[in-house]
Amino acid sequence: MILTKEQAQSALSIMVRSRHFEEHIDAFFKRKEMHGTTHLSIGQEATQAGLALALQEGDWIVPTHRCHGHTLARGTNERKMFSEMFGSADGICKGLGGSMHMTDVETWNAGSSAVVGSGVNLALGLAFALKMQKSQAISVAIFGDGATSRGSVHESMNLASVWELPLLLFCENNNYGMSAAASRMISTSSIASRADGYRIKHATVDGNDVEAVYTACKEAIEYIRSTSRPFFLEVKTYRCCGHSKSDACLYRSREEEQEWESRDPIFLFSRVLVERGYFTEEEVAHLILEGRKRVDDAAVDATAVRDIHINLEQAMEYLLAPEDEETYKVCKSTTRISYRDAIREALDEEMSRDRAVHLIGEDIGLYGGCFRVTGDLYKKHPAQLHETPVSEEAITGLAVGAAMLGLRPIVEIMYGDFATLASDPIVNHAAKTRFMSAGQLSCPMVLRAPIGSGTGHGAQHTQCLE
């Protein structure tokens, strides 16, 4: 699929700005003008531009920790991105997110995750919410080759297939999970073929060819919209820099690096634009300089406001959501009922009152829940009660993602002990999303788990986690 001249110009602009943005970031860190760490994606710009051009307004992305290019490609202001990395109040997340946690709801970016693979189950939740809201939009989980060894990723792929969710699994295979070559760490002949085990359609494409990435994304997205089924797209590319700012790349040869440098996506696409007659060499050079100047100007503007920070009191406003008086409303009934019946009654009331409330968990349908709490709710609210596979991490992460888009999920964990399996989405996302995004996103979900039941079920079914 050949890009139009206008699309081609946009693709080149995205790639040039992404590259130059990260060149600035590298320089800022080397001059010790930025604090912390960062993960660059120099060499992977075609994956970012190709995906962004294929998406529509309303389609959500959940990038990885290597998120700058995807954030920029989706339309976020470069100055605000620089400011975010300076820790400035001018940043997209008021300086509370930083390099690995960039959220921008205005460009449908639900925030990047610094935990490898964790964003996949959040994107799963976004896809679930979009389907429940009868939207035609899709969700995109962006992750690397290393993440495909995470159990939560496989849980999410299975659930996306079983529930037929509009999810694009966008795997950037840059050949290395930090220092570990994918060829040494992955048992299958190709990463995309892992999707076969979950009945997920898949494809593999040259990630350094922006038109090939765009075409593959376009076809995958059209399939997802028409079928409401997930699609796995592996884009093969290369990280022409270290994993992080302290990585000297001692684990790969100079010959390997030179081979990939000769396939620089910006150079390759610039040559295509001239050969196709879209632009002359002089015009391409001008477009590149124009994109670089835009980033240069943004860096200068951000530097001017880098010392403006929110204070502790302002930061605390994003720590906890405002409380609702209704939460503490006292029930006027004097009828005595069991605790189990009280929970069931509350679930019934809330699901009847608000169609955004969804009950999610294992064996909560006909079986009625492990402690028979959910009872016959599956009959009364069939569209709001969802039985799941044994996948505590995926279903909890799904609930976090769904809550971000306005649903009110209630996750039932069979025994409190099993909540340890969901510790990542609980601790790293449910607890921190509102703060890291500076209030752009919130997580109004309930996690329900019986603790210390006194049933004699042993140490792994009765412990108190508090």
| Confidence at residue 356, expressed as pLDDT on a 0 to 100 scale | 98
The tens digit of pLDDT for each residue in 314-329 reads 999 999 888 887 777 7
Closest CA to 129 of 153, 169, 165: 165
* C-alpha dist (Å) from residue 178 to 251, 252, 269, 346, 366: 10, 11, 27, 47, 46
For residue 410, the surrounding DSSP H or E stretch is strand 408-412
How long is the chain? Answer: 466
pLDDT of residue 214: 98
Cα–Cα distance, 158 to 165 (Å, whole number)? 10
Distances (CA, A) of 173 to 39, 182, 237, 274, 368: 15, 8, 6, 29, 43
Please state, in angstroms and rounded to a whole number, the distance separating the CA atoms of residues 265 and 267.
6
What is the mean predicted confidence (pLDDT) over 148-173? 97
Greater model confidence, 457 or 136: 136
Segment 230-257 shows an average pLDDT of 83
For residue 462, is pLDDT > 70? yes
User: 3-state DSSP call for residue 362?
Assistant: coil
Q: How deeply is 278 buried, as exposed, middle or buried, from its count of CB atoms within 10 A (0-12, 13-18, 19+)?
A: middle
- pLDDT over threshold 90, residue 242: no
Q: Pick the residue with more confidence: 240 or 211?
A: 211
Q: Which domains does the chain have, with CATH numbers?
A: 5-310 (3.40.50.970), 316-448 (3.40.50.970)
For 417, the 3-state DSSP assignment is: helix
Better-scored residue on pLDDT, 298 or 415: 298
Beta-carbon contacts of residue 225 (< 8 Å; ≥ 6 apart) = 136, 138, 166
Res 247: pLDDT: 66
Residue 184 reports pLDDT greater than 80 = no
Residue pLDDT, tens place only, 277-296: 999 999 999 999 999 999 99
Name the H helices within 33-106: 45-54, 68-74, 78-86
Confidence band, pLDDT 50/70/90 cuts, at residue 36: confident
Confidence bin at 453 (pLDDT 50/70/90): low
> Per-residue confidence at 255, pLDDT binned at 50, 70, 90?
confident
Asked if residues 91 and 99 have their Cβ atoms less than 8 Å apart, the reply is no
Distance CA 14, CA 143 (A): 20
Q: Which tops the pLDDT comparison, 158 or 462?
A: 158
User: What per-residue confidence (pLDDT) applies to 87?
Assistant: 95
**Percentage of the chain surpassing pLDDT 70?**
99
Quote the tokens at residue 206.
Answer: 């040259």
Res 221: pLDDT: 99
Element (H, E) at 265: helix 265-275
String of DSSP letters for 99-143: TT---BGGGTB----SSTTHHHHHHHHHHHHHHHTT-S--EEEEE
3-state secondary structure of 91: coil
DSSP string, 161-230: HHTT--EEEEEEE-SEETTEEHHHH--SS-SGGGGGGGT-EEEEEETT-HHHHHHHHHHHHHHHHHH---
Q: Render pLDDT for 396-408 as a digit per residue (tens, 0 to 9).
A: 999 999 999 999 9
pLDDT class of 335 with cuts at 50, 70, 90: confident
**10 Å Cβ neighbour count for 240?**
19
Burial 129-145 (b: 16+ CB within 10 A, else e): bbbbeebebbbbbbbbb
pLDDT score of 354: 96
The 3-state secondary structure of 291-337 reads HHHHHHHHHHHHHHCCCCCCCHHHHHCCCCCCCCHHHHCCCCCCCCC
> 308 vs 453, which has greater pLDDT?
308
Query: For residue 57, how far is the Cα from the chain centroid?
Result: 17
**Looking at per-residue confidence, does 452 or 446 come out higher?**
446
CB proximity list for 126: less than 8 A, separation 6 or greater: 60, 62, 110, 139, 401, 402, 404, 405
In tens, the pLDDT along 87-117 reads 999 999 999 999 999 999 999 999 999 899 9
- Which residue type occupies 417? D
CA 98 from centroid of its chain's CA atoms: 15
**Quick check: 456 pLDDT over 90?**
no
Percentage of the chain beyond pLDDT 90 is: 79
Residue carrying the six token digits 């570990």: 180
Query: Of 39-48, 243-252, 411-420, which range is least confident?
Result: 243-252
Question: Do residues 7 and 213 touch, judged by C-beta distance below 8 A?
Answer: no
Q: What is the pLDDT of residues 1-28, one digit of tens each?
A: 899 999 999 999 999 999 999 999 999 9
> Quick one: which of 400, 404, 398, 402 has its CA closest to 440?
404
Over range 52-71, report the average pLDDT. Answer: 96
